[in-house]
Structure 1
Amino acid sequence: MKRSSIAVIGIDLGKNSCSLAGQDATGAIVLRRKMSRQGIIAFTATLPPCVIAMEACCGAHFFGRTFETQGHEVRLMSPEYVQPYVKAQKTDDRDAEAIAEAAPRPTMRFVSLKSEAQLDLQALHRARERLVLARTALINQLRAVLFERGVILPKGRLLLMRRLGEIGVESLPISVRTKILVNDLLDECTALDKRIKGYDEEFAAVARNDLQARRLSGIPGIGVINATALIAAIGDGSAFARGRDLASWLGLTPRQHSTGGRTKILGISKRGNQYLRKQLIHGARAALPHLAAKPTRMGEWLREMLNRRHTNVVVVALAAKLARIIWALLRRETTYDQSAIIGV
């Protein structure tokens, strides 16, 4: 096997060992190997420039940046797009062969390579999300403990904390041991609040120093958290500048079912980045009352929808609208214009 004959290499990434499959220009398999992660880097450094394809999974972006410095063209693909090319039973070698076969397809969709700064920002968002979930679990446990003892507190963290502050833990009709437990849970919540606030301040600093984040944070319902999460996921937006629809990428577009010449509109597809979709919907829910009250075309559109559809449906529709506004700003490299939003 001549190394100069390799046109495409498919790599099935593993925790320790990885499978490689190399194709020549005709699509014939000319290489099959198993290597360690460090061995792959040393091996590709000896190859002439070629296409190296991988599934977009853990470690793929690090390898991609390394291969690019070696002069190779890196193509990352979603695993669901590679699956149809797997022959017979799934093995690591067949997965590598399927990756190599899928990469040259002219209609294949690729994942943009993330920089180290994007991955750092994404890791911060994941850490913050874990803390928010832990805080929510603590609040739910606190409400349940007090509910079992006849103390009814309102839903929502802020309302609950305010109500407890008004009543006072010591005046609650519960045992001494339960009062100690409640104070412990409240201390844990306070500690989590401080850590979450620290992440929020870091995101605010990133948004101040990043041009794209400043543009996005000016959109109603986006804010600092959503803007930095979007920057971490899509970088400079070059993929969407080439015409890719952000709303469909986030799974906010409705599914369609056609039968007998009739098309039925179903719910949203819920494909793509679940974290971004959730954050965008939360942002739309917060911005809905403010936008619907304005005497603008956007406000008229929202009020008309609220008269005939459930609020949750309107929230998702607004989230999809915000996604298209983001897409337009990224394509046109401009800032948010209140007077132009209805034409997006």
Structure 2
Amino acid sequence: MIKTRKIIHVDMDCFYAAIEMRDNPTLIGKPIAVGGAVERRGVLATCNYEARKFGLHSAMSTAQAFKLCPNLILLPVNMPLYKQVSQQIHTIFRRYTDLIEPLSLDEAYLDVTDSTVCSGSATWIAAEIRQAILTELGLTASAGIAPLKFLAKIASDQNKPNGQFVIKPEEVSAFVATLPLKRIPGVGKVTAQRLDKMGLCTCSDIQQMNKAVLLEHFGKLGQRIWAFSHGIDERQVEPHRILKSVGVERTLQQNIAQLAQADVILAELYTSLIKRLKNHCPHLSLSIPHKIGVKLKFADFNVTTLEKRGMLITLNSFEILLTQIWQRAAGREVRLIGLHVNLPETESVSAQVQMSLW
């Protein structure tokens, strides 16, 4: 008999901002954000709930944030401090399980299926973890408990901030049936709009349609949407996450509108990409074809990516993709350029590259 998994998704509440408020109580009750400066065309890494009342959110440009909230207190990113606190949080996690999959500094999946702490209750374990984080570190966390990873992640957002939500195995079908598709991890704003135009709003709508139609319109993402909409998620909690791609990107000091300008930046990024590949994947052969990609973010903050298989990791290959993707600008200026290389599974497995958050 296969055990029903017990998965907890822990998500810290406005992590960077919360640390700053903890260390400087005079900031409490004021709208604050952590991010890059306006003059450097920065974006917000996070903001506290007072700032969110003005419509601010992570990844918003700092300039736009100040327009919406003129009294915003902007703090620089203190990554060494955030990493240190993240390590302390993971020390607490390890009291309950070694099956921990970090997603970022402030969130992680925990598999507590075989844990005997708290009489084996995932709900009690989540509550104890949150209390320990509050007592020992002075920070609040939210948690979701479910038998499937994607549901645990959705559940952690259900009672934010400083709360938790449980989806029991016998509740999965009913919960999934009414779940809006836009809440499925991986379904962004654009995909949600496309689904809505097709008359697909909830998982029950997906359950009534032909799977082939979904795959035709959304490809690999369609498979994910179909599986999750049927309450299927066979992914395990992976303590050692394999590095699947390596990339570099740059937000430009000033928007550019000419391909020739982009070519200069591309050459600089390519140098950084090769250096990063050699550091992370020293055994990767650059002389055989790979899947590579170029990303652009436009002045209106829309993002587009072009990927192609069977390309050598050369500057010329990226220049070819850049020329093709540049046509999508359609007159818009560009504010960010990125390059990446997808790693073949054989390379990822043989090199055993582990994503380190620290």
Which TM-score band (shorter chain)?
under 0.3
* Relative contact order higher in (CA < 8 Å, ≥ 6 apart): 2
Hey, which of these two has a bigger chunk of helix by percent?
Answer: 1
**TM-score normalised over the length of structure 2:** 0.26
The structure that has the greater radius of gyration is: 1
Q: TM-score, normalised by structure 1?
A: 0.27
